[in-house]
Amino acid sequence: MQHLSGLNKEQKEAALHTKGPLLILAGAGAGKTKTITHRIVNLIKEGVAPEKILAVTFTNKAAKEMRERIYAEIAKNAQEQNTVPFVATFHSLGVYIIKENARILGLTKYFTILDDNDTNSLIKESIKEIGLDPKQYEPRKIKNIISREKGKFTTMEKYQERMNDPISNESNYLGKVVSQVWTLYENKKSKENSLDFDDLLLKSVKLLKENEEVRKNYQEKWEYIHIDEYQDTNEAQYLMSKLLSEKSKNICVVGDADQNIYSWRGANLKNILNFEKDYPNAKIVMLEENYRSTQNILEAANEIIKKNQYRPDKNLFTKNKIGEKISLYEALDENDEAEFIATKILEIIDTNERKDVFKRTLGRSDGDGQREFSAENSRGEHKNIFPEVAILYRANFQSRALEEAMLRYNIPYQVLGVKFFERKEIKDTLAYLRTALNPESLSDIKRIINFPTRGIGKTTLIKLFSGEKENLPIKMQIKIQNFYETLNEIKERIHTMKASDVIKFTVKKSGIENELMAGTEEDMERLENIKELATLALKYDNLENGTGIEKLLEDASLASDQDSIMINTEKKEQKNGVKLMTVHASKGLEFQYVFITGLESGLFPHEKMGDTKSGEDSEEERRLFYVALTRAKEKLFLTFANFRTIFGSRQINAPSEFLSDIPADLLERGDENPGIKTIYI
């Protein structure tokens, strides 16, 4: 069993399990992706056809990593195979099922996937149509209610029944407004041949549940189901997993109840806690050996999480070194906190630089290994050796002071979570491509029909969308005709040219290139971003007959925060530097050095006005801190401020309760500012 070499006892036990349900409880850094990969390879070695295997995860980044690992292991250990397992995210799996059954659902295969902004615009229009003010009934709030209901696998019809039931406790005025808006919103999407992000799960799962023929087709297609991050599944994802594995019962789920941090997105902790009830004959394997962090970091993490009650009993351990103590810094305010972090990062860079010089000097016998050590180098200009450093915070507003400190000290940095595909110029370019394939996409037409400027205003659009094109002036009709001819030419190129060449053609033909080239320096930067899109499209050039652009549009629509990070960091100047992000965005990542900031009562753990969480929901903040701690491989820094300005108001803060839960012997004090008194020990 050479293909299982390198696995520990528990990982091997999971990999060798081939029949029936399997629950792998994998702690942070315990090698879960490695375990799933080897299990899939072992199934293939045991005679299971690769195309009979499905693996599902949450982000494109995670799916890409899993796909690459699986394909590499197959090439190494099962070379006779000429097919591969189907590896996807939940949402891309939903797209796949919907596209294969588009006719049943009343769609065409080129349906548009709406982004957040498009969804909000349609909901805003719907609010206005029922005679209400969008300022009073905020579109985003109504959108979130609809999204949450869809995640619970609630259809519009079911929601309306609840809201119209006079004896229902849920029936209220807002609910009835949402009900009316939802109806108009669905009608608008139907006319546009479009779906929103939540529809990708709701409609595919509804199809599986209600259409026996379709359900049997996919149950036979995939006999072995693997679900990653099972603790993050909502009701729709849970049902999709259950329906697909209903016949074979060969379902393997991997997860960690201690890392359930997305309840606000509908993630249901009960899905992983109740797995044994759903599958009574399930085998359970616990992965507790951590390969990422030092012993001190793990001991702190174990102490933090053991206070939670809604979790299987688990205790991470490691054979790694004991490591440095966790540094704790008590700052005066957020600016002092940021100053401390910046100077510590310079020390880390400096130490890293000196180690690199020393190693390269030892490696040379001609004495030429020495080089001048400069301030520029100490600030990370020597990009090949920039250490992995992350600054984590609970709320986005905390990044301001941190960014200012990075700029002040000339430390390269990147704020993660800024989406490449949400930039205006990228959305404009993609809108041309989407509309060329789906001329019914009114949201996209609105976006681009007058960009670049063609003199087509709102009044013209209203008449056009109302079917009154012939009532427009002849000159205006010609402008509109030219616009649609441009779309037809783009469509023709989509089906005959490589994806990257289609983007280059689209930018020229649409007039976007000329518009931006004649503009400001900022416009030139936007043009550079579009060129980056064309570069990104190179990986789709091997797909023929228009499927390259189709796949690019699909991936762009499904990109999450972490996926967009991966795209952003492809640029050389962004590969190196400190990463700033929320703790939520850090899940699944790891760094040599981690700073966890803002550890103050009310901020982390986070509290909102009127927040009355109870039961397992109240434990989520502790799980979030556990996730933050376990991102660090070598060194952890914890910081809090006695004063912090929030919404323009300077507040006095008590240290987070989490700090007193970490054993004192694991902590070392930072270089406190003189005159600051420790107020919690």
> What is the DSSP track for 473-516?
-HHHHHHHHHHHHHHHHHHHHHTTS-HHHHHHHHHHHHTHHHHH
User: Do the Cβ atoms of 300 and 662 come closer than 8 Å?
Assistant: yes
Q: Which of 115, 228, 235, 428 is catalytic?
A: 228
For the question of residue 259 being annotated catalytic, the response is: yes
Entry field: residues in the chain: 681
Q: Which residue has the tokens 């007959």?
A: 545
Q: Which residues pair with 254 in a beta bridge?
A: 24
199 is catalytic: no
Given 631, 633, 635, 644, which residue is catalytic? Answer: 631
Among residues 12, 32, 203, 587, the one annotated as catalytic is 32
* Whether 275 contacts 312, CB under 8 Å: no
Which among 33, 81, 219, 651 is annotated as catalytic? 33
* Pairing verdict, β 86-89 and 667-669: unpaired
> How far is Cα 278 from Cα 21, in angstroms, rounded to an integer?
10
Q: How far apart are the first and last CA of the chain?
A: 54
CA distance 356 to 385: 7
Tokens of 534: 């064309």
Which residues on adjacent β-strands are paired with residue 224? 53
| Distance from C-alpha of 556 to C-alpha of 434, rounded to nearest angstrom | 11
379: annotated active-site residue: no
Q: Where are the beta strands (DSSP E) in 191-306?
A: 194-195, 224-227, 251-255, 283-287
Q: Which two tokens stand for residue 573?
A: 């100047």
E strands along 64-159, which residues? 86-89, 112-113
Tokens of 343: 């100077």
The residue assigned the tokens 């205003």 is: 457
DSSP conformation class of 625: H
Peptide bond into 452 cis (omega under 30): yes
- Catalytic, 354? Answer no
Catalytic site residue 51? no
**Catalytic, out of 199, 229, 339, 550:** 229
Told to judge if 607 belongs to the known catalytic residues of this protein, a careful annotator would answer no
Q: Supply the DSSP string of 516-530, one letter for each residue.
A: HHTS-HHHHHHHHHH
* Catalytic residue IDs: 32-33, 228-229, 259, 631
